[in-house]
Amino acid sequence: MGRKRVVVAGLGDVGILAAMRLAKHFDVVGISVKPGLVSGQEVGVRLARPRDWARDYWISFDRFRRLDRVRIIQGALTGMDLAEQTVAGQGGDGNPFVEGYDALVISTGVTNGFWRRPTLQSAAEVAASLRADHERLASAASVIVVGGGAAAVTSAVNLATTWADKRVDLYFPGDRALADYHPRIWQRISRRLAELGVGLHPGHRAALVDGFSGDEITSGGVDWSSGQPASSADAVLWAIGRVRPNTEWLPRELLDDGGFVRVTPELRAPGHPAVFAAGDVAATDPLRSSARNRGDALVARNVHAALTGRRLHSYRAPGRRWGSVLGIQPDGLEVFLPTGQAFRIPSWPVERVVMPLIVRRGMYGGVREGAPPV
């Protein structure tokens, strides 16, 4: 009897780590629309310093040593047969494919703005997109960032840090941004924004026309449903949290009302013991926090347990978001704790210890050298 087969649908931040862990014990097939890890993290660094971002967050699959045992299909998923335990899709070459599984891990993530879209892309197309977004903002004398979450805040900080002569304004709907984080974190970062000259505009909720997704950088005016006069800028960056799960290919019975994959505390689909989900696509809690709290490790552990007759473990969601909000900065990396306290790692250990040893060697198990992708 051959080894069990596990299909990992989606090789983003969570899926790639889960696939690496599972490949130690099973035949693993990974399916991705991208030609490598194209992370949804640190959008601010991606826009302002794309070469720095690509070094750490865009890595072709062949550079990951632990993916050598994973068969990777670049293609878009189009359907699933729960009874037959198969998934179907269309490859980048236009040919259809069908893959059977003994266990399926759904980690296809979400669409959330122009930087996280489930489009089938070549490496050249990923590079062109990175350059185009950067150049669009580099050429703008003024930028409006709309949104109150981490993506909006990190974008405002990184744009203002990179281009000190650019007018950057941050508009958000509440009294403060980063509402899902401890209040102390916003207090600290708002001071940083003020020091950088970023205009802060609380209480502004954008008036959006039907069908507007915010998936493109626009220009011109922004109207406010909260009653303020319209604002305008050369570039408008939308980070409004219109998150849409990439689950169109899944049967409706697996999904909740928002289209996210329903899961038990063990990250397993109720009533379907061979199906698991983790990351932003999994309805674990209101913050879908298994994307940021080692959900990859738990889902891999539970898939292994399910296929070998062992006990599964439960996921416990944190009460608040925490971690790095702004990404790696010229002076190092600031990490926020759930209590709102922060500690800074200077740039030298970030560059010499954290990224090469802890992340690339420890977390990913070794990353081969490669040419800069942009």
pLDDT digits 0-9 by tens, 280-338: 999 998 878 887 778 899 999 999 999 999 999 999 877 777 778 888 998 899 988 88
Under DSSP, is residue 224 helix (H, G, I), strand (E, B) or coil? strand
Residue given tokens 């150049």 in the structure block: 135
Instruction: Find out whether 53 and 37 touch, Cβ atoms under 8 Å.
Output: no
- Band (372; pLDDT cuts 50, 70, 90): low
Summarised one tens digit per residue, pLDDT across range 189-242 is 999 999 999 999 999 999 988 777 778 899 989 999 999 999 999 999 999 878
CA atoms of 243 and 240, how far apart (whole Å)? 9
User: What are 151's two structure tokens?
Assistant: 């993506």
Residue 260 Cα distances to 19, 232, 239, 244, 269, angstroms: 21, 35, 20, 8, 11
> CB within 8 A of 34, min separation 6: which ones?
11, 74, 121, 126
The residue written with tokens 């050298």 in the block is 369
Question: DSSP label at 53?
Answer: H
For residues 6-18, average pLDDT:
96
Most confident of 104-118, 203-217, 245-259, 337-351: 245-259
The whole-number pLDDT of residue 186 equals 93
User: Pick from 253, 262, 255, 311: which is nearest to 283 by CA?
Assistant: 262
Among the residue ranges 9-18, 259-268, 305-314, 329-338, the one predicted with the least confidence is 329-338
Q: What is the rounded CA–CA span in Å between residue 197 and residue 177? A: 17
| Helical ranges in the chain per DSSP H | 13-22, 43-48, 50-57, 123-138, 150-162, 183-195, 295-308, 347-349
Residue of 343 and 264 predicted with greater confidence: 264
3-state SS, residue 206: strand
Instruction: Spell out where the chain has E strands.
Output: 5-9, 27-32, 36-38, 58-60, 70-81, 86-91, 96-100, 103-106, 110-111, 142-146, 167-171, 199-201, 218-222, 231-238, 244-245, 261-262, 275-277, 282-283, 333-336, 342-345
Mean predicted confidence (pLDDT) in 48-67 = 94
Q: Please indicate, yes or no, whether the overall pTM of this predicted structure exceeds 0.95.
A: no
Of the candidates 64, 67, 75, the residue with the CA atom closest to the CA atom of residue 99 = 75
pLDDT mean over 240-259: 93
- Banded pLDDT at 369 (limits 50, 70, 90): confident
d(CA 106, CA 261): 8
As a whole number of angstroms, the distance between CA 203 and CA 146 comes to 11
pLDDT (mean) for 245-272 = 96
Residue 104 near residue 251 (C-beta atoms within 8 A): no
Other residues' Cβ atoms within 10 Å of the Cβ of residue 5: 18
User: Using alpha carbons only, what angle is made at residue 367 by residues 44 and 327, rounded to the nearest 5 degrees?
Assistant: 20
Dist. CA 299–CA 277, nearest whole Å = 7
Query: Does the pLDDT of residue 1 top 70, yes or no?
Result: no
Tell which residue, 103, 111, 31, has the closest CA to residue 70: 31
Query: For 108-156, what is each residue's pLDDT tens digit?
Result: 999 988 888 889 999 999 999 999 999 999 999 999 999 999 999 999 9
| 2: pLDDT strictly greater than 90 | no
